Each structure stands twice: as C-alpha cells, then as structure tokens.
Amino acid sequence: MSRDPVPIGRRVAYLRVRRRLSQQSFADRLGKSKSWVDKVERGVRSLERVSTIREIAAVLRIDAAVLLGRDVQPAGVAERREGVARIRAALSTYPMAFGRATDREVMSPDWLAREVRHAWMTYQHARYPRLVELLPTLVTEVHRAHVQDPEAGRAAVVEAYRVTAALLVKLDEGSLAWLAADRAMSAAAGDRVLLGCAAVQLGQVLRASARAGPVMLAAASQVARGTPEEMSLRGSLLVQAALIAARAGDDRLVSDLLDEAAALAVQVGDGHDHHRTAFGPTAVELARVAAAVELGDGLQAVARHEKAIGRDGWRWLPVEHRAGHLIDAARAYLQADNPANAARVLLRADSIAPSEIRHRPAARDLVAQVARDPDVPPTITQLAIALGVL
C-alpha cells in the first residue's frame, strides 16, 4: 500500500468543488471556519488527525481511503492486462508448425487483407481497447495462413504483426512488442519493401537501443527513392533512425537524418498515408519536436510544436499521430517549465483521442506528474482523479 504524493489539501479542494460546495458551506458542515478550510486546501494547515479526515470524507461522501489516495485502482488496468494476455497467447501459439493443424479452413488472403485494414484504421483512430479485442483472432489467423502458405497473403501477415507491435508499444509492453516486430521482419524476409515496413515498427520498439540505428539506415538504403510510396517508407525509416540517435544524445546525427527525411517529405507532400506511415512535411516537423524533447531542449521543442500544429498538414494526420504528438508536446512544456500549457495539450489529446491518455501508461504517468503542480487548471486534476492516478 502506498500513499499518493499529491497533497491531501488539493484533493480536498477538488472533491469539494465536485460536490458543488463553497468553502463556507463546507466549513459549516464540518463545524470549522472558512479560514480553516482555506488553509487546509492550500496546504498551510496539515491534516493529521484520523477523526478529522473521516469527518471530511463523510461530508464529501467518499471513503477515507479515496481522500488519502490509497488503493485506487487505475481505470482500465485490469481490462488492459487481460487483453494483453490474450494477445500474448496468440503470439505464443505454434500448433501448425508441429503438424497439429485443425480441420478448420484457413482464411482467404482477401479476408486477411480486409481485417488488417480494419485493424490499422482502428489503431489510427486510437481505439485501443477495440483493437485489443480484435488482435488475438487476427494474429491467430494470419499465423495459420502464413504457416500453410508463406507466400499467399504475406503482406497481410506483415501488416498484422506491424499493427500489433505498434499497439503494444503504446501499451508499454516492450518485450511483447519486440516479438511482434520480429515476426513481421521474419515474414517480410526477401521483400525489400515489406522489410522496410516491418523495420519501421522495429525502430519504434527498439528506440532506446543505439544499435537499432544502423538497422534503420540499412533498411532505408534498400528502399528506392522513385515513387511517393518508396520515398515515404525511406523517409519514415530515417525518422526512426533520427529518434534513436536523439535518445542516444547525438544531436548532429539527428539533424542530418531529419534534414534528409525533410527533403523526401517535400516530394511526397502532406495528406498521404503510404505504408501506414503518414509521412510528409508535417510528420517530419513533429519528429523534430520529439527529437528535441529527447535531447532535453524543451524551448526548441515548444517553438517547433506551436509552429507545426498551425500547418494544414496537422489536420490531415491520423488521430493517433496527433494525439501521440501532443504527449511529446506536454513533455516539452514541462521541460520549458510551463506546466499550465502541458496540462492544456494533455486535455486536448484526451478530447481528440481519449484512449491515448486513458490506456497509454506513459501518458497516464504524465497526467499524474502535471496534475501535481499547484499552478495547473483544475480540469487536469479532474482528469487525473478520473484516471485513478491521483
């Protein structure tokens, strides 16, 4: 059992407002003065007596444990764990590899391709709980199809594992995401384009590993520059290599790689989603923000963010991409010592893609961090409490 670091006075203030009680009416019900309530909420006066805490909880009609921030089950955690367990089970099943195929007919390549498109659309609309439900069946079916005929519908197999890896990165399931990305790479072997597609997700999974940078560059070198689809894939791999370099602190390499990606992006333009990359000039600008955050340059990241979201291309990006960027922007504002704007962009992310905030552990942690600042608006505190992170 742990005690939440948020001051109890601030929790009292939020819960009082939620009950639509003024400080005076709240004080009257407690038999205290308005000044006493004000001092408690501002943290000037501590609450040490258990009897007083129980009286406050009774007036607020809550359990004292909630008031103290103890044993609050974060929203959706149990469901998310159960869903990830089902995906893990699907990724860990190899019946056909040992001649134990069932009599059930393998799904057709057309069916697999259609279901994979639906999975990607679900991901890009940031409907993560729904995707958690879809993936176990999809992964099982593409695995069965691939084992029976490695060539038929191979693109659908790679894409199924790609979207699985992308989701698992969001859910902070690193080892499982690596397994899905590795499956995608294995299925793509021998096809340069499919290998490049799989490598994009591999880069996301291995972003903390400096050794993954050369893998991204090698994959990029195998992709031609001719068509918009090829340039999008090559550019996306350069972006992944740049973000890996940023995590390693190599600012010069970051600049070189993103400049090269930007040159390709100009030729592709905004508003496209070749190979599920959403690559274009605006996407590269958002990558510059993420890289600046990784390098610890919050002021530069904030300046780039505020310019990027004013571009027409911002509105054309998938919901997931925009919401994910707003998480990076919140980190940038915190680095720039601007928690109020960090709260603002987090609330905006929650409005356009609630699952990005409510089901992504990194985002939930960020909400909790921002909500502990005394200068942020009460709406972020309300969100944090609703999430069970305060």
How far from chain centre, in Å, is Cα 322? 11
pLDDT at 9: 85
pLDDT at 73: 53
> What is the 3-state composition of the chain as percent helix, strand, coil, each rounded to the nearest 5?
75, 0, 25
Q: 34 is written with which tokens? A: 């308005």
pLDDT digits (tens, 9 = 90+) for 113-159: 999 999 999 999 999 999 999 999 999 998 888 888 878 788 999 99
pLDDT digits (tens, 9 = 90+) for 74-97: 556 677 888 899 999 999 875 444
What dihedral angle (degrees, nearest 10) is formed by the CA atoms of 296, 300, 306, 310? -120
Residue 278 DSSP label: -
Residues forming CATH 1.10.260.40 domain(s) in the chain: 8-68
pLDDT digits (tens, 9 = 90+) for 285-321: 999 999 999 999 999 999 999 999 999 999 999 999 9
Residues, the chain: 390
Residues 164-193 have a mean pLDDT of 94
Element (H, E) at 52: helix 50-60
Q: Which fold has domain 8-68?
A: 434 Repressor (Amino-terminal Domain) (1.10.260)
Rg for the chain, CA atoms, rounded: 24
pLDDT at 98: 46
Tell me how far apart the alpha carbons of residues 362 and 384 are, in angstroms, rounded to a whole number: 13
Tell me how far apart the alpha carbons of residues 388 and 147 are, in angstroms, rounded to a whole number: 43
| pTM of model > 0.75 | yes
* Helices and strands: H and E segment counts in the chain: 22, 0
Most distant CA pair in the chain: distance in Å?
A: 77
- Whether pLDDT at 377 is above 50: yes
Residue 1 DSSP label: -
pLDDT band at 65 (very low <50, low <70, confident <90, very high): low
> Which has more confidence, 210 or 170?
170
pLDDT digits (tens, 9 = 90+) for 316-338: 999 999 999 999 999 999 999 99
Q: 27 is written with which tokens? A: 């004080």
CA separation, residue 135 to residues 183, 185, 198, 258 (Å): 14, 18, 17, 33
Residues 244-255 have a mean pLDDT of 95
Q: 186 is written with which tokens? A: 């294995």
pLDDT digits (tens, 9 = 90+) for 21-45: 999 999 999 999 999 999 988 888 8
